[in-house]
Structure 1
Amino acid sequence: MLQAHLDGELSSSEQVILDGHLSACPECQALLERHRHSTVELYETLAPLKLSRNLTQSVLDHLPEMEYTLLDVSGLNKRAKNPRIYRERMSRLVPIAAAGLLVFLAFLISKSWPSYDDPLQSPIGMVTALNGTVAYIQADHIERTPASLQGLTLKGDRYETNAHSQMMISLAGGSHIKLDENSRICIYDDRKIRIEKGQVFFDIGKDSRIFKVLTPSGDITVFGTSFNVEVSPESTSIAVREGEVQVDIDDLFRQIAPGQGIHVSPGITVLKPYTVDIESKTSWTNSIHPDDTAVLAYQSSIKSNTSSQKVMGHSGYLLQNINNRRIKQLEFSWKPNVALAGDRAGYLVYVYSENNEPIFKSYIDAAKLSNAGLTTLTLPNNTSESINARQAYVKLIPDFSSGSVETQFTKCEAILSEE
């Protein structure tokens, strides 16, 4: 080690150790001095025998003429003389190279890994109860894999139970969906579901946005409520436990109250509610119990991290002095909002009699509400029937598929036929 010290080959840590030892060891100090004198004497003795600087050229001048290449071997000589120094340098470079490789691999993985920053890939729900084996079909895929407790739900995902399985999915916004045996659904987003077959119970979170349930027989428009839907190849049945449910089929629509049901089948011309034993109808849901751990995971990762859209929800106008006359058209006025004109929501318009009988429905296009030059519009009634009522009720439901900004309506008036 003393000779390595004289040659400058010690590492910094070795040098510190040697200096500490030399300061307390007179014998090693004397030995170091002898080594130093020996090195000087050796250098002075061999100095006259040093090779001349032009040795290379002198040798080449006496060789036959041929092509040759001069190699710079100075670096090799240094590494041969001081191997420890170069090992230390390489040991410092290895972690840097490894870190660079990890960064490169992380970049490649990030390009192929699904990103939840993409709205289409952001989780909108979680499986919170499982009885038996349930098939899970990821959006845009056909492979069927077993659903798992606490499994995340993305837009477009589908679930299918068999003859011996049930499940519950909890969605953002506080909505919960229970699937009975032999049922299949597709989840478009946290406020729009399609039932393809079977029986499904909905407990919709108290959100001002409408909740849409699509079935082969018609669409169901829902606010905060709970209800049961049973879909077969021939028909669809809806039963309401609490809240407000509206069924839409082409030009037909009907509002259903708690304790009522409605049956929809192809070719139907009238939607007629009937009384239903809702407790008996939904007794199958009693065997589905949410897992406590899954519920906690849902509340921390899905429900609490999803901000509900702050909206006014549906609004309505009471039209008086109808007196059994036909409503020819409705006239609306609203306050303009130029700054947000391009992001307007459209509106579903439903007109009911005072007895909750449907009169007609229409739609206010978002493009008209976005036109800064318009503040009024007229909706015609394309039906020819008069109503047996003294007054009517107009319900406006925002449709956020076209935009997120609601319109503040200031007036709704009915233009009536002659008495």
Structure 2
Amino acid sequence: MASCIQIRSLQQAYLDDELSSGEKLQFEEHLRECPACTREMENARFLTVRLFEVFGRDRLQDDLTSSIMAHLPEMDTPHFSGVRRVKGFQPKSVSRLSRVASLIPVFVPVLLVILAALLWAAWPTSFMKEAKAVGVITLSRGEVQSGHTTGHAFQETKTKDILAKDVLVKTGENGLLLFGLLGPTQATLYGNSLLQVVNERELLLEQGRIFLDVHGEPRAFRVGTPHGDIRVMGTSFQVDTGPQGTSVTVVRGQVLVENDKSFALLTGGSQGVFQKGGVPEVYQNVPAKRCLEEARSVLPDPGAERYFRSQYAAAPILPATVQKQIFMVETRRRPVSAVKLNWLPDPYAEGHAGYQVYVSDSALNPLFKAYIAPDVFKDKSRDSLLVAVPENLQGEAVSMLHITLMPDYKSGQVETSFTEVSAIGIRQ
């Protein structure tokens, strides 16, 4: 039985009718047994039909065979080496025009390549921008500028502008920006802020303040800051970052904040404050609704909002493969020196996802975190790994460990199936 990853790689070939009979039978059998791949196949078929309709007006309708054949030069009469020459016969001199005509078949392909390059350089960039588009500016007020991460040229950002991947946005003291992303996600970026839009599910806030309303879906939404990362599935929250640290205020849902050393899970009405390398401080019962009221006090442009909802908010989102795995490990209040992870080796040689390991006590209070590099899963001779417990926590007497394994897709999309997690005690 083929895996879901293998089936996804064959989707386009199936739509183009390029699969062999055996592959086609295996593909259709998998779809009958896997609802997730069936939904993804329906989305792929829908996108293919939409693309066929959108580019229908640009499709060539006429047959150019006759016009091309009419303008091709006639072929010279072939000279056979077996024909006996007549004594005293001298071949006629070839004119320059005939020589030029004989070289036309050689220069025509070169000329076509040059013309194609010129057309590509002069072609409008709107199609390329649309292909990389991830959202729309629904309101731009005050001093707001944007530019690509590869360059240093910033230009004024206007309402209804398209947001593409890898775009930097900065606001002045009186600047305010509202935008929507595929998902959908709606955001309010306040003054004196610098934000990079990596893609529709990842933002980097270098400085300033942003309020986000993220629609729930299987893919995680990430906000990076200089002091750590923020990961959510679907929630409303505000991020405020500056030289002194980063604060995250949650209106509803759950938000995971983490840095190199520790992490914390925030819920509605709580706030987390953290710096790089420090343990996040969590405050409960904060006035989080004020953040929501401030963000909702500014309304988007009606025309831009309608365009966003018709083109981006309603766009089909392919199901993602984000699958966190949770294990509860009993310790019987014995000191623990390490946590052992067991998994089932897969047949893939590369493309593995790494894994973040979050360890909490039975009350979900964070204890420590670790990271499993993707190269670990390439070695098919091993099926387990020991994650050491920090020395300052080995004496903690907890009755149960709550362990969450979250895939990190920066290195690849191949997930690992963990079968067992156990605690290794300290020998007395």
1:344 paired residue among 352, 375, 380: 352
Cα deviation per residue 1:382-417 (whole Å; 9 max; x = unaligned)?
343233431110011110001112222211111122
The 5 Å alignment of 1:62-141 reads 107-111=117-121, 122-141=132-151
The answer as to whether partners of 1:172 and 1:306 remain within 8 angstroms in 2 is no
Provide the residue aligned with 2:226 in structure 1. Answer: 216
Identity between Structure 1 and Structure 2 (%): 26
Change (3 A) 1:132 1:306: farther
Q: Helix, strand or coil for the counterpart of 1:110? A: helix
Which of these two proteins has the greater Rg computed from alpha carbons? 1
Relative to 1, partners in 2 of residues 1:408 and 1:277: Cα closer, same or farther, differing over 3 Å?
same
Q: Does residue 1:290 correspond to 2:308, yes or no?
A: no
1:361 is aligned to 369
Q: CA shift at 1:302, angstroms?
A: 3.9
Q: Distance in 1 between matches of 2:155 and 2:263?
A: 38
Contact 2:169 2:196 in 1 (8 A): yes
Distance 2:126 2:383 in 1: 40
- In 2, the alpha carbon distance for the partners of 1:115 and 1:374 equals 50
Mapped to 1, the partners of 2:317 and 2:185 lie a distance apart of: 13
Equivalent positions of 1:162-181 (< 5 A) are 162-181=172-191
Counterpart residue number, 2:98: none
Equivalent-residue separation in structure 2 for 1:374 and 1:209 (angstroms)? 29
- Bigger shift: 201-210 or 360-369? 201-210
Name the CA distance, whole Å, in 2 between partners of 1:337 and 1:304. Answer: 36
Taking the TM superposition and a 5 Å limit, the aligned residue runs for 1:237-252 are 237-252=247-262
C-alpha distance in 1, partners of 2:349/2:135? Answer: 32
- The alpha carbon displacement at 1:228 in A equals 0.6
Between 1:265-274 and 1:153-162, the stretch displaced more is: 265-274
For structure 2, list consecutive stretches of 5 or more residues without a partner in the other structure: 1-94, 96-110
Shift of 1:213: 1.5
Contact 1:355 1:389 in 2 (8 A): no
Query: SS of 1:159's equivalent?
Result: strand
In the TM superposition, what is the alpha-carbon distance from 1:240 to its structure 2 partner? Answer: 0.7
Map of 1:11 onto structure 2: none
Give the C-alpha shift of residue 353 in structure 1: 0.5
Is the CA contact 2:263–2:279 (under 8 Å) kept in the aligned structure 1?
no
Q: 1:326 aligns with which of 332, 335, 345?
A: 335
Distance 1:365 1:175 in 2: 30
Q: Tell me the distance in 1 between the aligned counterparts of 2:269 and 2:186.
A: 20
1:394 equivalent among 398, 403, 409: 403
Paired letter, 2:386: T
Q: 1:410, 1:260 → 2: CA distance?
A: 34
Partners of 1:110 and 1:328 in 2: CA distance: 62
Task: After superposition, give the CA deviation of every residue in 1:195-250 in whole Å (9 maximum; x if it has no partner).
Answer: 12221011223232322222222222222222111122222211111122122122
Q: Distance in 2 between matches of 1:267 and 1:410?
A: 32
C-alpha distance 350-378 of structure 1, shift in aligned 2 (>3 A) = same
CA change 1:351–1:279 in 2 (3 A) is: same
TM-superposed deviation, 1:120: 12
Q: Distance in 1 between matches of 2:267 and 2:408?
A: 23
Is the deviation greater in 145-154 or in 109-118? 109-118
Partner of residue 326 from structure 2, selected from 316, 322, 327: 316
Deviation string for 1:138-159 (max 9, x for gaps)? Answer: 2312222111222222222111
Please tell me whether the aligned partners of residues 260 and 276 of structure 2 are also in contact (alpha carbons under 8 angstroms): no
**2:160 and 2:112 mapped to 1: Cα distance?**
31
CA distance in 2, matches of 1:118, 1:380: 48
Structure 1 pair 192–406 and aligned structure 2 pair: CA distance change class (3 A): same
Deviation of residue 341 (structure 1)?
Answer: 4.2
Q: What are the Cα deviations for residues 291-315 of structure 1, in whole angstroms up to 9, with x where unaligned?
A: 3432343344445556445214322
In structure 2, do the counterparts of structure 1 residues 417 and 273 end up closer, same or farther at CA, with 3 Å as the change threshold? farther
Q: Secondary structure at the match of 1:283?
A: helix
- Structure 1, residues 251-308: CA drift from partner, whole Å, max 9, x if none? 1211112100022246745533333110123432023323343234334444555644
Structure 1 unaligned residues grouped into runs of 5+: 1-71, 73-100
Per the alignment, residue 420 of structure 2 pairs with 411
* Partners of 2:145 and 2:171 within 8 A in 1: yes
TM-score scaled to structure 1, two decimals?
A: 0.68
C-alpha distance in 1 between matches for 2:277 and 2:356: 24
